[in-house]
Structure 1
């Protein structure tokens, strides 16, 4: 297909539009088995993905589902439906478009199964659920194309592995199915192409003109950033001025708690009563939808948000993006920048607001990476086996299957191309019996082989399996709503662990307002409005990002420069003073500073390995110090360093960094640690060993933790080589403790350690004394005490002249 039908051509002409070159190429290659389109935000990626579908359906004649659109966000699927329905209606095309997500009603879902639309917009979880039904072959009969939007986003998590397994099932049902992936930010196009393609078929890559360079810089603020902290309260006046000067501003944060705090401070300073909203995943769906609607109508001047607005939603006249706090990841920053001036060949405009002094360095490094188009990303590992176990159970729900045929089918999914038959059989045995230590228990006897085919032992178990499909492991969240006598309005969710700390009268932030905790009724937190202005802060379950490996390397390279003309004067002078007093960290060596402070000995290790790895390093090194008689008392970590304090000075660092000893220490620490139990619970839930959702009621987090802890202890004692324990170890090493980055650091320095014995705290180490959990101050005078503590530390470090 090389030309658009007349209806589409006329519609383009009536708007004075023309088809972009990459859209035309997508049309010309619409019958390729797999295509990956990389185009800038605002470059018409979604339309390029749908043009072949609209062209093929414009003349009618197709029966049933023609195109499946997969989105990583429910809101994005809804937005695409709105944007796609308008041109279809204006052209009078005989095309039915519907979305199917967790928000779709039961009645509509049943109707969609009986009578699928021409185009169905859905999410990975909803697609996996659809493939689990016995009538899946009929639902997908005639399916021609699948379009995966923001493919880079799903490829970074287990949702992507789940999606590729579902596509392997669809490809078996529809051998001629064509795959299209769309993305604006891809650091390794070939890796994403391998992920997307039906293995071993190739996936062709189409790269659009990247467009003009983004207009991105640091926000100029009269006041210097603080030495530590993440709130960026110092920048509120400057941010408000930017909001006044633009139509609509998106103000991004890395965590939900930070977004709530910033929104509250912004609102209190908003004397002009500008229309400002807040949007994040813990808010009630109704509130999110109200904010989304106001954005679409152009009624909001600013929206304080998190990753909930990262992806390709095109709402309102957004002409500025502000990133508060260091971006931690260049690819995420590029994605967020693209929300501004969402038009083809229009430069995006963005401002970075570092929350503290070190983040100034990170923000400048990120700016340089964006300008160099140097995106970051870690190589994809093999497809996780807990997701494969869930897929086997999904396959069993749809009907009896042949193990060999399912194995061959699974290996067509890119993440599982290297899966061995013994690995598959391990997963199958686990699904069938629960494994060696659990096979005596009837509840885990789920599959049985009859006449050469595997099937559910009890067909009624399909309901529970379907209710627990998915790989997103939400924290143990409780609903928050106003008291019944005050209307009972739902506000959102908070973590169960946080709710457990509340007593009647405590206040916290929810949706930007201060609310007062009244009671916990039927697993719902009931609150009332509070007149207080100083709330207790809810620690929402937002992701705490670690600085990426590539960005960390750029920061180290920047610190090694002889001068820093790109940095503000106050930050450059801070670094010059560090060089005069001690040394700067360098790429091929590990800098450790040892110094006394406040009657304790301190060691600061500059590993630049990211927060998770630096925390793990703190645990392991303090354990080694204990073994060596150095009597450590505690530690605190940031993305770039770990500060350990104790009773004895560190005079020889080499014994602390023996790779074998560190790994043995990690093994001992992990075995009985809560990290392993938490990881086990997540993997056991995905693999189907633990059901969070039951027909009667959802298990509370405490119930699920209790049952998973018992299972974990049982398996460790009686079946230490159990599949789920192997999965758990792999997951913990890769994610929560990030030991791989510690090993990378040890290999990089190769024994080259610079141990500096110094008389006092150094400029680069001083901010770590102000990190949360290190300085024991609280109450009404908290900010004043922190400021006084910062001044004292900086004077001791020789920074009296650095403002």
Structure 2
């Protein structure tokens, strides 16, 4: 179907704008009756219009009730889509109502939407789960014809996506003719995403758009060299400001919220031209985020400092440069962010990378090579987690009685759960119904009742409210609202509860780019006042800290092994050449270990290139073995590429502590009493519904929830060690906080190929680890100068000049 074949109102709209349909948009229109379809198109290639065109065509002559459900991982993306859809709908005069339904939607509007839904509803996985939990869900979704899942790759990597796929299985039952469309720009394994989206056993065809021209991407040239450690990128601010002046609008991405706040604060202090610059991240208030989004849409900002809250899909055509501060950690994350610049079809994106420290220079060069070669990275889970399934079963029970056989067929019709054994499903059902063997005597865990063989429902219908209040798979550290003091004080955002507990009256911290002063806490809200004159403390923000992907780490190792230093700046090249001279380079398939004395301590440095979480786990297990061997370890520090351990006695041979069988047994023993397991248990228990986060009229504080989850964990461990939640916890811990999969992969690849080098001083490659956070605990105005002095001393020891 070409533009001229569209319904007259739409054809006139396209003609008035001199628009023609791209081939992939035509293909999605032609194949709109497919049960499921996956479109992979470059950013700016019109994916969203391709996803919605069948809806606009089918609704051009009117449609009663909900026709299309659009699901996005970000609320900001839904807001952007609503603005963009308004243009063709209003100018073509289409009888289509578009509304969003997110956590920001009022209770009154939510209730009205269930009774009188719009033709197009924009929502998130959490809000959709809530909608299907009501008894009137069958009526709300009766006319549903289409579901569009945007940025599906971002959802396929986490439990939010698993929750969404389970919700789609229920929607398919409520609306059997519903068709699914997935949209994505960055997919490393299209077939895996297609399997994930498919309505099993039917396949999901894939539509591949023209990838467009390669991006204009390079490392930003700066006057000063990157520091030896740190992640802030402060040294590059003059060069970043110069780029902001030269371009229309610049997006400046950071990997964490705290880093974004620090960089924005320093950028603003250096902004002597008073360029309009904003900040956007998920811990800011809805009002603050929406103000920045409006300013961006209206072209009022020269730059915006952001995190993952703006990674996906936002269509701001006047953004002509993206700057990534800090190594991207994942190639596809970088490609996603690059695509925010020149968000137009067949227009090359422009991006500059700012390595935050010397080692990140290597990471950035490796990432650039991967982008040029078109190689993405990823680590998609193949099996859906059972804690999410437990929550879904409780969610379905809220809507009314259900047949267990029918629900099992529903659940196994979606990719993440297509291989789920019936025994696992029944075990989850039993857990939701009784809490399991050790808890079945407690009334609060008796949630479901089998009314007749195979037919289950809520034991007490009043419990539906409590279940709905606790739906969702995002487990953040507990946060407190922050607002300006005074009647009707402006909300600023959220800070972590643990950080708030350390504040005393007069303390200052960064919030939304401004320095604020802590005044008091009132009804679980932190009240602050503006205080621009003081040096701030830094709020600790929730937010995922990425670890370098396996594929990117392998590229870095290959660069080191082949001595491919030609494209590196002279300061980094000199550093690496000296490492090669005084020690040796890490090699793929081998493990380099250096030992050396410093400051009266004996140090062991392992270069595993397995990511921070895996290195922390490896260090914990090695130090446990060292302790048992009376080698008196004192501590460790871990980065994405190495871990440094120090103690009172030299370690003559590290290899015995790296035996695969022994380290796995040590992990099992260590996990049982470790706080990591209890934290993981708490997260899974909240998702599965064993622990409630919220109660009517109040919320549980982080300390209270942890206390109750610790008691539950200890009770189950003692009286029911084979309890479903304990098995789920171990599975989650293995692939989550401790990343044991990367540890196992490293040990399997290395085997006995371990190169231990005994040195008489710190090596050039190990020296930056002494500057990692926790090694130089100096705070305040002098911090930068003192760290620089420490760096000078360290590098001199390693034979390096800082010039």
Does the alignment pair 1:151 with 2:156? Answer: no
- TM-score of the superposed pair, with normalisation by structure 2: 0.98
**What is the deviation of 1:349?**
0.4
Distance 1:539 1:463 in 2: 32
**What is the deviation of 1:778?**
3.1
Which whole-Å deviations, capped at 9, do the CAs of 1:240-280 have from their partners, x for residues lacking one?
00000001100000000000000000000000000000111
Does the alignment pair 1:33 with 2:40? Answer: no
Query: For 1:484, what is the secondary structure of its paired residue?
Result: coil
Distance 1:532 1:661 in 2: 56
**Cross-structure match for 2:371:** 370
Which whole-Å deviations, capped at 9, do the CAs of 1:738-797 have from their partners, x for residues lacking one?
010000000111110000011110000000010010123334322111111111111111
Q: How does 1:246-265 map to 2 (within 5 A)?
A: 246-265=247-266
Please identify, of 729-738 and 3-12, the stretch whose mean Cα deviation from structure 2 is larger.
3-12
Which whole-Å deviations, capped at 9, do the CAs of 1:35-74 have from their partners, x for residues lacking one?
00000000000000011111111122x3221111111111
**Cross-structure match for 2:785:** 784
- TM-score of the superposed pair, with normalisation by structure 1: 0.98
Does the CA contact (< 8 Å) of 1:46 and 1:182 recur in 2? yes
Does the alignment pair 1:459 with 2:475? Answer: no
Does the alignment pair 1:18 with 2:20? Answer: yes
**Cross-structure match for 1:303:** 304
**Cross-structure match for 1:266:** 267
Does the CA contact (< 8 Å) of 1:295 and 1:316 recur in 2? no
Does the alignment pair 1:320 with 2:335? Answer: no
**What is the deviation of 1:539?**
1.1
Distance 1:68 1:206 in 2: 21
Q: How does 1:411-450 map to 2 (within 5 A)?
A: 411-450=412-451
Match of 1:46 among 31, 45, 48: 48
**Cross-structure match for 2:350:** 349
Does the CA contact (< 8 Å) of 1:72 and 1:124 recur in 2? yes
**Cross-structure match for 2:193:** 192
Does the CA contact (< 8 Å) of 2:595 and 2:602 recur in 1? yes
Query: For 1:732, what is the secondary structure of its paired residue?
Result: helix
Does the alignment pair 1:602 with 2:603? Answer: yes
Does the alignment pair 1:717 with 2:718? Answer: yes
**Cross-structure match for 2:507:** 506
Which whole-Å deviations, capped at 9, do the CAs of 1:719-738 have from their partners, x for residues lacking one?
11111111111111101000
**What is the deviation of 1:93?**
1.1
**Cross-structure match for 1:764:** 765
Distance 1:588 1:141 in 2: 56
Does the CA contact (< 8 Å) of 1:227 and 1:790 recur in 2? yes
**Cross-structure match for 1:484:** 486
The verdict on how the C-alpha distance between 1:531 and 1:124 changes in structure 2, with shifts beyond 3 A counting, is closer
Does the CA contact (< 8 Å) of 1:326 and 1:359 recur in 2? yes
Distance 1:20 1:469 in 2: 40
Query: For 2:39, what is the secondary structure of its paired residue?
Result: strand
**Cross-structure match for 1:245:** 246
Does the CA contact (< 8 Å) of 1:292 and 1:315 recur in 2? no
Does the CA contact (< 8 Å) of 2:231 and 2:259 recur in 1? yes
Which whole-Å deviations, capped at 9, do the CAs of 1:631-650 have from their partners, x for residues lacking one?
11111010000000112222
Does the alignment pair 1:4 with 2:6? Answer: yes
Distance 1:468 1:542 in 2: 20
Distance 1:654 1:699 in 2: 46
**Cross-structure match for 2:170:** 169
**Cross-structure match for 1:183:** 184
Which whole-Å deviations, capped at 9, do the CAs of 1:393-426 have from their partners, x for residues lacking one?
1111111111111111110011001111110111
Q: How does 1:515-664 map to 2 (within 5 A)?
A: 515-664=516-665
Distance 1:659 1:325 in 2: 33
Distance 2:375 2:262 in 1: 32
Please identify, of 258-267 and 691-700, the stretch whose mean Cα deviation from structure 2 is larger.
691-700
Query: For 1:491, what is the secondary structure of its paired residue?
Result: strand
Distance 2:483 2:717 in 1: 41
Does the alignment pair 1:472 with 2:471? Answer: no
Does the alignment pair 1:331 with 2:332? Answer: yes
Q: Give unpaired runs (5+ residues) of structure 2.
A: none
Q: Give unpaired runs (5+ residues) of structure 1.
A: none
Distance 1:794 1:510 in 2: 35
Distance 1:316 1:691 in 2: 43
Distance 2:317 2:38 in 1: 28
Does the CA contact (< 8 Å) of 2:317 and 2:343 recur in 1? no
Which whole-Å deviations, capped at 9, do the CAs of 1:588-641 have from their partners, x for residues lacking one?
100000111111111100000001111111111111111222211111010000
Distance 2:472 2:681 in 1: 16
- What is the aligned-residue RMSD (CA, Å)? 1.1
Does the CA contact (< 8 Å) of 1:297 and 1:316 recur in 2? no
Which whole-Å deviations, capped at 9, do the CAs of 1:494-549 have from their partners, x for residues lacking one?
00001111111211111111111121221111112224342111111121111111
Does the alignment pair 1:697 with 2:698? Answer: yes
Query: For 1:560, what is the secondary structure of its paired residue?
Result: helix
Distance 2:676 2:586 in 1: 30
Query: For 2:694, what is the secondary structure of its paired residue?
Result: coil
Distance 1:531 1:344 in 2: 43
Does the CA contact (< 8 Å) of 1:248 and 1:316 recur in 2? no
**What is the deviation of 1:576?**
0.6
Query: For 2:474, what is the secondary structure of its paired residue?
Result: coil
Does the CA contact (< 8 Å) of 1:507 and 1:514 recur in 2? yes
**What is the deviation of 1:316?**
5.4
